[in-house]
Structure formats: structure tokens, C-alpha cells
């Protein structure tokens, strides 16, 4: 018998605010097994209050009210890690990376909730973002054959991923060097990959589930600025991902971005990104 594991990822822009604005009605009908959260901006007690009945592991940022990641599951999460492998003195990853191993039909799936730095071109903030992406690139090969990195990765990989890409080529989130990481993440495993910035590095072979599922189309976008009428005109960015290992990507049977029907019904400025993975019957 085939079992479906439904994994949803969303930057909640503050878990307490999301709960007040309508997260629960969606969650009650979404059929989610694993929920990964970014920008939680709250303590463990707030998470527990917002998600009663769920088993939750999380990591808070060192700065109160900033960042924060978590993984919530219907069943207990016994094995989890927050170490991205970076020296804490060189890179503060607190509240930005958490892993959990989940048993599914005799197999182990590693699920990551990640929140990459926003960055700012030509500043120390961008230096920190590159350092985080470096650490992420080093960690990915060690995550196992059945793994998925979900979350707000704060990079639009390709021109298809940003509606107004021409106006953002010199801004954080669409800089050539940032995009080159994703060229390597998703490039053929072990082969030299030439990034959009002209650099060359080994491909890791991971699959951008959203792009594979949607095909060569604009978006579907996952985040919209609060300025102007970005949401109403669908002038968005696709910066929330499911990056899966090839073996896990083969098991995707559905993928969707849950865009709110209108601006005033949103409970976050990001939309949930949901994928169904099939297990058993193989």
C-alpha cells in the first residue's frame, strides 16, 4: 500500500501573527503531515500554543523576535539537529537551519527547514549570506539519499522566478553569485557546472521540485512585497523551495503553491509550498 507524506513549508512572518490572521483554518483542512516553518520569531512556548497537538522541534535566533525555524509533525520527532557545520564564531546560523529524521515505511527521510539570510548587496549582510550558502553547500552531500531542504531560501534562481527580474539584477535575492549556488545545487552530480556568474564548481544533483513540477513558466511565485499592488498583479518572487535529492524527488506525486484568494485573506506575505511524496508499494 502506498503512503503519502505531505510536507508543507511556509515563512509565517511571525507564528503568533499567522495564528491570529487565519493559519489554523487552512491547516485544519490541508492534510499536512510535516510542517516546516521559517521566520517564527517566537519562543518554544509560543510555537506550542500556536500548534496544539503537534510535535515540534525548533531553533530560536539569538536576537529576540528575529528569524527562527521549526519543524512540526503529527508524530514525535526523535532525531533532530541544528548544526550546519559552520563555526559559530564565524557565522551565526541560530534560527536558520534545523534538520529532523523521520521514519516512513521503514525508510528514513531527512527534512530541513531553512531560512537563508536576506542579504544586502555590497554590505556585511551579503557577506553573511554567502557564508551561509557556503555552509549549506558543504552540508548538502551529507544529508543522505532521501532528503529535502524546504524553506525561504531568499534567492530567485532564474529569470522565471521573479516577475520583475530586470529591475533586480543588482539586488540581493537575484545577484549572479547567489544564483550560481543554485546552479550548482541543481546541476548534474559530480560534473563541473558553470554558474550564471561565470564561476565553475561541482554539481550536487539536487532537484528543484517546484520548477520540475511547474515547468518552464513564470513562477509560480511564493512571496509578494507589501508595497503597491504586488499581490494583486502577481508581481512576486519564487524564493520558497523544496530542494530534494534525486531519490526523493522521484517520489513527488503533487506540488502546489497555496496562494491566498485575495490580499486581505493572507495570513503571511509568503504562500505555503506543499509537496506530496509517495512511499511503499515500490
Q: Which three cell numbers stand for residue 221?
A: 511565485
- Average pLDDT of span 217-225: 97
Which is it for the CA torsion 252, 254, 214, 196, positive or negative? Answer: negative
Alpha carbon distance 273, 77 (integer Å): 21
Q: What is the pLDDT of residues 144-158, one digit of tens each?
A: 999 999 999 999 999
Q: What is the pLDDT of residues 26-63, one digit of tens each?
A: 999 999 999 999 999 999 999 999 999 999 999 998 78
- Average pLDDT of span 98-114: 95
E strands within 131-282? 147-152, 192-194, 200-202, 207-208, 223-224, 236-237, 240-244, 252-257, 273-279
Task: Name the CATH topology of 3-279.
Answer: Deoxyribonuclease I; Chain A (3.60.10)
Q: What is the pLDDT of residues 179-201, one digit of tens each?
A: 999 999 999 999 999 999 999 99
DSSP state letters, 46-85: HHHHHSTT-EEEEE--SSTTS--EEEEESS---EEE---S
Provide the terminal-to-terminal Cα distance of the chain, rounded to the nearest Å.
Answer: 9
Lowest mean per-residue pLDDT among 19-33, 79-93, 210-224: 79-93
135 and 82 in contact (C-beta within 8 Å)? no
- Average pLDDT of span 72-83: 89
Lowest mean per-residue pLDDT among 9-18, 48-57, 63-72, 203-212: 63-72
User: Over 80: is that where the pLDDT of 88 sits?
Assistant: no
Strand partners for 151: 114, 241
Name the residue ranges covered by the structural domains of the chain: 3-279
User: Over 70: is that where the pLDDT of 13 sits?
Assistant: yes
**Average pLDDT, rounded, for the chain:** 94
Amino acid at each position: 500500500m502506498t503512503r503519502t507524506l505531505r510536507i508543507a513549508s511556509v515563512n509565517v512572518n511571525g507564528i503568533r501573527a499567522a495564528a491570529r490572521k487565519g493559519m489554523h483554518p487552512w491547516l485544519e483542512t490541508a492534510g499536512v503531515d510535516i510542517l516546516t516553518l521559517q521566520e517564527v520569531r517566537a519562543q518554544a512556548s509560543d510555537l506550542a500554543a500556536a500548534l496544539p497537538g503537534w510535535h515540534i522541534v525548533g531553533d530560536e535566533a539569538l536576537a529576540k523576535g528575529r528569524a527562527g525555524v521549526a519543524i512540526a509533525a503529527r508524530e514525535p520527532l526523535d532525531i533532530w539537529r541544528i548544526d550546519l557545520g559552520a563555526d559559530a564564531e564565524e557565522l551565526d546560523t541560530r534560527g536558520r537551519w534545523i534538520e529532523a529524521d523521520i521514519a516512513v515505511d521503514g525508510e528514513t527521510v531527512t527534512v530541513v527547514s531553512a531560512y537563508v539570510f536576506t542579504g544586502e548587496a555590497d554590505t556585511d549582510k551579503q557577506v553573511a549570506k554567502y557564508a551561509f550558502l557556503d555552509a549549506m553547500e558543504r552540508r548538502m552531500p551529507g544529508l543522505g539519499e532521501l532528503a529535502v531542504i524546504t524553506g525561504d531560501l531568499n534567492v530567485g534562481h532564474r529569470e522565471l522566478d521573479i516577475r520583475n527580474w530586470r529591475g533586480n539584477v543588482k539586488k540581493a535575492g537575484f545577484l549572479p553569485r547567489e544564483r550560481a549556488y543554485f546552479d550548482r545545487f541543481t546541476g548534474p552530480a559530480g560534473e563541473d557546472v558553470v554558474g550564471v556568474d561565470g564561476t565553475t564548481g561541482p554539481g550536487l544533483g539536487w532537484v528543484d521540485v517546484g520548477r520540475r513540477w511547474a515547468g518552464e513558466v513564470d513562477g509560480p511565485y511564493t512571496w509578494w512585497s507589501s508595497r503597491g499592488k504586488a499581490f494583486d498583479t502577481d508581481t512576486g518572487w519564487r524564493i520558497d523551495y523544496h530542494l530534494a535529492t534525486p531519490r526523493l524527488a522521484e517520489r513527488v506525486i503533487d506540488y502546489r503553491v497555496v496562494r491566498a484568494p485575495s490580499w486581505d485573506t493572507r495570513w503571511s506575505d509568503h504562500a505555503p509550498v506543499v509537496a506530496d511524496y509517495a512511499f511503499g508499494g515500490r
